[in-house]
Chains A and B, each alone.
Chain A
Amino acid sequence: MRQFIKRNLAFARLGIQTNLEYRFNFFIDAAVQPAMTALIEIFLWIALFAALKTETLNGFTKESYLSYVIWSSFIGRIAISWMYEHLMMDEIETGSINAIILRPMTFFEYYLSQLLGYKLVVFCFSVLVPLSIVFYYNLPTELGRLPAVTLMIFYYLIFIHAMSFLTACLAFFLNRVRSFTLVKNFSIYIMSGELFPLDLLPVFWKNIFLKLPFSSGVYLPVGYLTGRVDTELFLQGFTNITYGLMVVLTISYFVWKKGLGSYSGTGA
């Protein structure tokens, strides 16, 4: 166990170190993009309420929506892993994976720890953006809930990484699987509640989405932080992630085994 922790802390440091090597890219990713996304969302929702000439929408005020979209654009960007998904696919497609699987470690943990390390740093930098905006506009946010929300986001990241791992494993069988990533990420974008709050969906669909683990990526943590979601529903999110993880990891295990069996050690 000591060795496992030591090794994975080293991978987490690698994730941070590698990304800090490319300072400009990191600055854009951790500061510029969250700020721009937040500004676009603010203007969009202010315009929407102005056009509708209403004070509330589905029972929530303009300030509530603004708070939701500010936090959802921030959390949605943290709770996604397309970059590491593409890296994993590249490793399999080009054969660079050889250097990983011939060492006493697993491909899954290697990328998971890097992902968590990198996201932790991005989180610490980028959280200043939504915090500044909610303070400036005095938007409803229960900051005391931020630690619990952070915990859920990082637990959800393990689930998201498992999804990415499963998708990347398809590269053992198919030469190009990026189109699948795009479709998958867009589906998650809707089901997680990042595109719009799940409250805007018909009750039937909302209830289905709330039972899926994806809502724990954006809707539940953001809803809990902005006061839309109660503690009981929020805690249900952890259970949903656990079930989701069990299913995805089980499928991944078999796909990985099958994939390695058909792998030809490309490029070596």
Chain B
Amino acid sequence: MSNAIEVKNLNRVYYSYQKSVGLMSSIKGFWNRKHIEKSALSDINLTIPAGQVIGLVGANGAGKTTLIKILSGLIPPTSGEIKVLGYNPFERKNEFLRNISVLLGQKNQLWWDIAPVDSYQLLMNIYDLDVTKTQKKVKDLAEILNCSHVLETQLRRLSLGERMKMEIIGSLLHDPQILFLDEPTIGLDIVAQTSIRNFLSEYVKEKKPTIILTSHYMDDISKLADRLVIISKGKLFYDGSIDQFTQNSVQKKRLKITFENPVAQSAQISDEIRLIAGTNTIDLEVEPSKIADTINRISQKEAIQNMSMEEIDFEETIREFLKKE
């Protein structure tokens, strides 16, 4: 399998101007500005084979979107080597642009003042697509996404969910080899999120594009991605499978205990565990080696009616990780 993306020693620094609070600093800043540098990405190395779906995860400001911007050719790197489909993305050659698609969940890619069908017609001309085939594709995709009824309504009059479905159709018309999806389900309700997620899942199975996906919804990542890449403070923190990440990270299990009667009196079981008077249940996250001891100590204080133990899932693992960031 050939590589769709190759990144070596990638660095990106942003320059901005720092201003203290107040009018005086604004006056001072009129002729004397203090410029600062911020490293957004540092020494990133990444190889992505064609057809792989990458879930790119990290806290806000970790550098995910910067990486997408660089890989798609929107901004140049400060240093490093990048090849996307064999091209230097920042040269933005037409042959390269014809083979990628960028969907930024917080930005419109279609035209605000006209109906999606008109936008698609424009895209047919921009990408030089076959009219009949593309019209059929629009019809099919709209049916799958259940949004055929709004194809002729001005984009600005559509709901966020409908708009995102239209954006997704627009981004797939030219059968891109690489899809950059930055927060494609942001702000959508659970029904729209699921619909888009299922659609993308089917699309990936059928067309096998390379996808770089960022999302704050870990369901998107766990259901779609073959591989997880975590960026932390501009550096590559993890690159591997989702299962491996969860297994490596989870050092605790979730223990849920139900008592026969409400707790009669509050009691400290250990440094981290306290029974509270009047409660019927307790939820704990316990290290495997301490499970038996914990259950023993609790059962000495209260009669246990029921008990269950769960693995902590991917979403929670990521949440814990991001909390520490």
Instruction: Enumerate chain A interface residues (CB-CB to B < 8 A).
Output: 3, 6-7, 9-11, 14, 17-18, 21-22, 95-96, 98-99, 101-105, 260-261, 263-265, 267-268
Contacts and interface: CB of A to CB of B under 8 A. Distances in A.
24 contacts: A10-B121, A10-B125, A10-B126, A14-B122, A17-B114, A17-B118, A18-B113, A21-B154, A98-B102, A99-B107, A101-B92, A103-B97, A103-B126, A103-B127, A104-B97, A104-B98, A104-B126, A260-B76, A263-B74, A265-B65, A267-B107, A268-B65, A268-B69, A268-B107
Contacts of B74: 98, 101-102, 263, 265, 268
Nearest 7 A/B pairs, CB to CB:
A10-B125, A104-B94, A265-B69, A104-B97, A265-B74, A99-B109, A268-B104
B251 interface: no
A96 B108 contact: yes
Contacts, number: 73
A268 B67 CA distance: 12
Contacts of A22: 113
B154 A105 contact: no
B75 A264 contact: yes
Contacts of A261: 76
B111 A18 contact: yes
Tell me what chain A mostly uses at the interface: helix, strand, loop, or mixed: helix
Interface of B: 14, 65, 68-69, 72-76, 92, 94, 97-98, 100, 102, 104, 106-109, 111, 113-114, 118, 121-122, 125-128, 154, 182
A135 to B, nearest CB: 37
Contacts of B76: 260-261
A3 B258 CA distance: 70
Nearest to B14: A264
Nearest to A102: B102
Contact of B106 (A9, A11, A17, A267): A267
Contacts of A105: 126
B79 to A, nearest CB: 14
B234 to A, nearest CB: 15
Contact of A265 (B75, B98, B122, B154): B75
Contacts of B114: 14, 17-18, 21
Contacts of B72: 102
B270 to A, nearest CB: 48
B173 to A, nearest CB: 11
Given A6-B128, A260-B76, A267-B106, 20 more contacts: A7-B125, A7-B126, A10-B126, A11-B122, A14-B111, A17-B114, A17-B118, A18-B111, A18-B113, A21-B114, A22-B113, A95-B107, A99-B109, A102-B100, A104-B127, A264-B75, A265-B75, A268-B68, A268-B107, A268-B182
Report which residue of A3, A6, A14, A104 has the largest number of chain B beta carbons within 10 angstroms of its beta carbon.
A104
Contacts of B109: 99
B107 A98 contact: yes
A89 B298 CA distance: 67
Q: Which of A22, A102, A261 has the most CB of B within 10 A?
A: A102
Contacts of B154: 21
Contacts of A103: 97, 126-127
